[in-house]
A and B are shown apart, each in its own frame.
Chain A
Amino acid sequence: MVTQGHQSHVLIIGAGASGSVAAARLAAAGFEVVCLEQGDWVGPADYMSAQPEAELAWVERWNPDPNVRQGLADYPLTGDADVRPVMYNGVGGGLVQWAAMWQTLLASDFRVRTLDGIADDWPIGWGDLADCYAQVARDMSVSGLGGDPALPEMDPYPNPPIPIGKIGRVAAEGMDRLGWHWWPGANAIASRRHGSLQACQRRGTCMIGCPENAKATPSLTHWPSAQAAGARLVTGARVTEIPVDEQGRVQGAAYLDRDGVEHFQQAQVVMLAANAVGTARLLLLSASSRFPDGLANSSGLVGRRLMQHPYRTVTVVCEDPLDSWQGPWGQVIYSLEFAETHPDRDFLRGAKWMVMPHGGPMFAAAEYQEAHRHDGFEAVWGANFHRAADEVFGHAFTWGIQAEDLPEDHNRVTLDPTMCDSSGLPAAHVEYRVSDNTRRMLDFNVARAVEAAEASGAVSTLVRDVWPTGIGHVLGTTRMGNDPQTSVVDRWCRAHDVPNLYVIDGGVFVTGGSANPTATIMANALRVTDHLIEARASQEIPA
């Protein structure tokens, strides 16, 4: 028998970056909110970060790739992809494992078609998000320094910037010599005790969990207040379908609990917040006679235009010790020098750079091995193995370079025809190709980063090709727009086809920019939720 949950005002699917923002806001406004999350709570007791084996966390349990990690809540990702998406399924979603880099989009990111004649404009602009950017930065206890001239003016961050340290200083001096843009990094890591966060202890394990609770994640920043205001979070709940009534309105969601028992949660409004892969998968799983190509998919764009910020790195090896296993492993400094289109370059749009530490000796060895992977066995093993620890460990930092990959219909998420998850639901099949524009963009930026390394006094550099696994940025599969024929949701992120269905995760991005997307995902979720609250009287709901 399928158990029926009491009808909620709003059902949110996914307790990550966007779902957490919506739940907290709606509950505070008096809405009855239920959130279904397929994963579980995670916290310091689950982390390996304070153990001597911390570096080994990446090998399996805390590997960001769900195909490697194979946790109970994970679903398989299949397909032929130059860059395979990564994600975390649990309370907090991707923000369990993120590096907490906090970056708004550029103003130009919302007008790519108008300015550069390619891709599309967003139906909103930077100004539409300005207040929400400021609010979510406060909610996430962001530490940073305002005033970056490459960005529109914004409210000060709630905490002073994290010190740039030795690695930031060396990197910044190189950029200074070249006359290139750099700025101290903003991170959702508390430089002092703030809100629900403790002060950063520089442990350097941000991406495998902060045992000090100094890194913002929704289980600390949003869910305590959401639950105190009455929001109900159901973990271990794997949604199988979002059915519609005869009028084409969604009725709620069917889901399986950890024991495989079926439930149905009724709702007046459904908000999808399961990331750009998971949300597209759920919409496609919810095909019906009324929506034979998938729910809300009359445009045919559900699952298409996947963007992931293809990523390369230049690790800068220096003579002097930099203690660069120490954290935080956010962005110490960043650069937007090459983030905009330039007429002299053979590509459109650009990339963002950020400086990070490189971790312990196992990471140093891996970085060395990967950079020399085409140089043969002798280059990295045997007599040369110890060069990594001797030359790189503690003496290096990394310029991470994330490219703006433009939306392309053939980069897409579909349902796998054969492979299923542990509940028997089709796996997500991902096809993704790195475009020629993106490859030229990355080649150019890597060459400039090597120049920056030399200006910083590097003794050598370790250059890696495009990373085959992503960096957790999955965007674009349910794009926002004014035209129902060319977009999935409207400017308020309501499905054109279904009046009581919203998508609030990174799937709604029209273009991806080159900025780390969390600030924008959370700010947009707040914008959309506030609008839903304001417009509640006119919201269509099922009979």
Chain B
Amino acid sequence: MSGSGPTPAQRLTLDRLADVLVPEGRNMPAASAVGVSEGLLDRFLDAAPALAEPLLSLLDEAPAEGLDAFVRHLASQRPGDFAVLSTTVVGAYFLSAEVRRLTGYPGQQPNPLSVASEPDYLDMLERVYERHPGYRECS
């Protein structure tokens, strides 16, 4: 990540904003509990450095109290800023190894194809062939 990066105060604010969007529930941890404002945030901003400046401005702007209302205001009145915040929170959240374990997501891993000599759908395809009127003639 380029620049000086988020300050501790900005990280703390992000934790509080993130939990408005992603609280604990359905056996899943809250955003702050997995560290979205820590190393996950740094990894996120390494991948999307252009979002750093608008994100940090937003964190500086956030009030000390009433963060729930602030997030809702962004969502309804400032969609561009809300997209910066929500993309960061969601992107960082799903980088968490704990979240991936709980959701059963291994990442985009290689998994070689197995090409069958005879696909198992040929019976259905035969019915497509039988009922189709043929392509539209043009002459």
Contact = CB atoms under 8 A, between A and B. Distances in A.
A128 interface: no
Given A164-B119, A201-B112, A114 B138 contact: yes
A107 B108 contact: no
Interface in A470-485: none
Contact of B136 (A108, A181, A361, A390): A108
Interface stretch (B7-15, B41-49, B56-64): B41-49
A389 B132 contact: no
Contacts of B111: 201-203, 326
A382 B125 CA distance: 45
Given A163-B119, A202-B113, A362 B47 contact: no
Contacts of A49: 108
B67 interface: no
A372 interface: no
Interface in B34-81: 43-44, 46-51, 72, 75-76
B134 A164 contact: no
A466 to B, nearest CB: 17
B22 A385 contact: yes
A340 B94 contact: no
A132 B119 CA distance: 28
B107 interface: yes
Contact of A59 (B51, B109, B131): B51
Interface string A167-178: 011001100100
A125 interface: yes
Contact of B110 (A111, A147, A201): A201
A219 to B, nearest CB: 21
B23 A383 contact: yes
Contact of A360 (B49, B105, B113): B105
A54 B87 CA distance: 14
B125 A183 contact: yes
B129 A149 contact: yes
Interface string A371-412: 000000100011101110110011000000000000000000
A488 B27 CA distance: 61
A103 B51 CA distance: 37
Interface of B: 20-23, 25-26, 28, 43-44, 46-51, 72, 75-76, 86-87, 90-91, 94-95, 99-100, 103-105, 107-116, 119-121, 124-125, 127-129, 131-132, 134-138
26 contacts: A53-B44, A55-B91, A55-B108, A57-B47, A115-B138, A126-B138, A149-B128, A149-B135, A164-B119, A172-B121, A172-B124, A183-B128, A184-B119, A184-B121, A191-B113, A201-B113, A202-B110, A202-B111, A327-B108, A377-B72, A381-B75, A381-B86, A382-B23, A385-B23, A390-B26, A394-B105
Interface of A: 48-50, 52-57, 59-61, 70, 106-108, 110-111, 114-115, 125-126, 145, 147, 149-152, 160-164, 168-169, 172-173, 176, 179, 181-184, 191-192, 199-205, 212, 325-327, 340, 360-362, 365-366, 377, 381-383, 385-387, 389-390, 393-394
Closest CB pairs A-B (n = 10): A201-B110, A56-B47, A386-B26, A149-B132, A59-B48, A60-B48, A108-B136, A111-B138, A202-B111, A53-B47
